[in-house]
Amino acid sequence: MPIEITMPKLSDTMTDGTLVRWAKKENDVIKPGDIIAEVETDKATQELEAFEAGTVAKIVIPEGGKVPVGGLIVVLAKPGEDVAAVAKAASAGGAKAPAAAASPVAPSVAAPVPVMPQSPTPGPLPAPVPISPAIVAPVPPIGQKQRVSPLARKIALETGVNLAGLQGTGPDGRIIKRDVLAAPTAAAVSTVAKAGKAAPMPAVRLEAKTIPLSNIRQTIARRLLEAKQTIPHFYVSIDVQMDALLSLRKSANEQLAPVKLSVTDFIAKAVATAIAQTPAINASFTPTAIVQHGTVNLGIAVAIEDGLVVPVIRDAQDKGIRQISAQIKELAELARAKKLKANQMGGSTFTISNLGMYGIREFQAIVNPPEAAILAVGGTEARPVVKNGQVVPAQVMTLSLSSDHRVVDGALAAEFLSKLKDILENPLAMLI
């Protein structure tokens, strides 16, 4: 009997999947463990693994096709079977039909754009001054999204490098640290401008288009709308002086080189410690009870091309900062490569969202249900503070907690943030 492979249920909320790419083609011989396709679910793009040996006789769903869970996607001929005969039978409808008709995702038709009345023809524009390629690199083609690593973006913000035209040398053209360090800074461009060699900014071509929603983006839209409509949010913020933590991080990185601990790593450890001291915030709301969780499963929001995913560090309360750091790096890479598995995403009890590397001072995040709270982390910057009656500079970070008021009261939110502030400002305590 031929082997019929159907669309598996790869997440707890998955109802259908899209065949992003076939790794095998018809007549290819496969063995158990081979990756045969990539499937986009409502949470991530995952690899589909073969569990039996055989030969690909008939690919039922083409690349780009969407099929419900349980729908037939490919037919394999078992070893010794006539591949052509199996393919013919599958084409003739001998194989099990999908649970619902699968069809490729049709491109959306853009709505007509109203034509605005034309203004009088302007006079000739002055000829642009030639611009040095050392100052402005070629702009990426229209429609191509620029890829930038968080570290590269942070360095660019600190040094004044314009990322708009840089060409990345990292994987898939990603702009990485060395690209930013090799680029001229804003100060260098300013020097050229003072010398009379500056030129207008290169023209940016805009394009009207309609972008079909991916499965991931549809799920994000649905869950965030549900969260804002059904969860009574409230927000509290606190400022944290980070000088002691930054000093500790510098010393630790010198001792652990080449291992590098990030500020996010320390914040994740501090959050897990603070939750252990205020366990009531590590909870979920149900219609009949508040469920308080016995472990801290820490979600770390990671931006990807299609939106946002939240990989999970399980039992974070029992892990050291180096373990947490290693897991954050591993999960973030898997998320950006769209290789996260279902068990690496579900089950978080508290989430951290960090936009500090983009220069954001503070923001309020949307609660990630069924959690009761999410922490929004802003950037660290020099601000004046009062110490011993004197105004002095300090490195300050703003943390904002969004909470579900059905579970978390104002006093509990304030208690949690107060403990978190104390841990971050006295970081040695969380390492003991």
**Among 405, 415, 422, 425, which one carries the catalytic annotation?**
405
pLDDT tens string 357-407: 899 999 999 999 999 999 999 999 999 999 999 999 999 999 999 999 999
Strand bridging mode 307-309 / 45-49: unpaired
Low-confidence ranges of the chain (pLDDT < 50): 94-143, 189, 192-193
pLDDT given at position 107: 36
Closest CA to 328 of 346, 317, 314, 349: 314
Sequence-separated (6 or more) residues with CB below 8 Å from residue 420: 238, 240, 270, 271, 274, 375, 399
pLDDT given at position 95: 44
pLDDT given at position 169: 76
Whether 233 is catalytic: no
pLDDT given at position 112: 37
> Which pTM does this prediction carry?
0.63
pLDDT given at position 93: 66
pLDDT given at position 363: 96
HEC profile for the chain? CCEEEECCCCCCCCCEEEEEEECCCCCCEECCCCEEEEEECCCCEEEEECCCCEEEEEECCCCCEEEECCCEEEEEECCCCCHHHHHHHHHCCCCCCCCCCCEECCCCCCCCCCCCCCCCCCCCCCCCCCCCCCCCCCCCCCCCCCCECHHHHHHHHHHCCCCCCCCCCCHHHCECHHHHHHCCCHHHHHHHHHCCCCCCCCCCCCCCCCCCCCHHHHHHHHHHHHHHHHCCEEEEEEEEECHHHHHHHHHHHHHHCCCCCCHHHHHHHHHHHHHHHCHHHCEEECCCCEEECCCCCEEECEEECCEEECCEECCHHHCCHHHHHHHHHHHHHHHHCCCCCHHHCCCCCEEEEECHHHCCCCCCCCCCCCCCEEEEEEEEEEEEEEECCEEEEEEEEEEEEEEECCCCCHHHHHHHHHHHHHHHHCHHHHHC
pLDDT given at position 350: 98
pLDDT given at position 422: 97
pLDDT given at position 40: 83
Q: How many residues in the chain?
A: 432
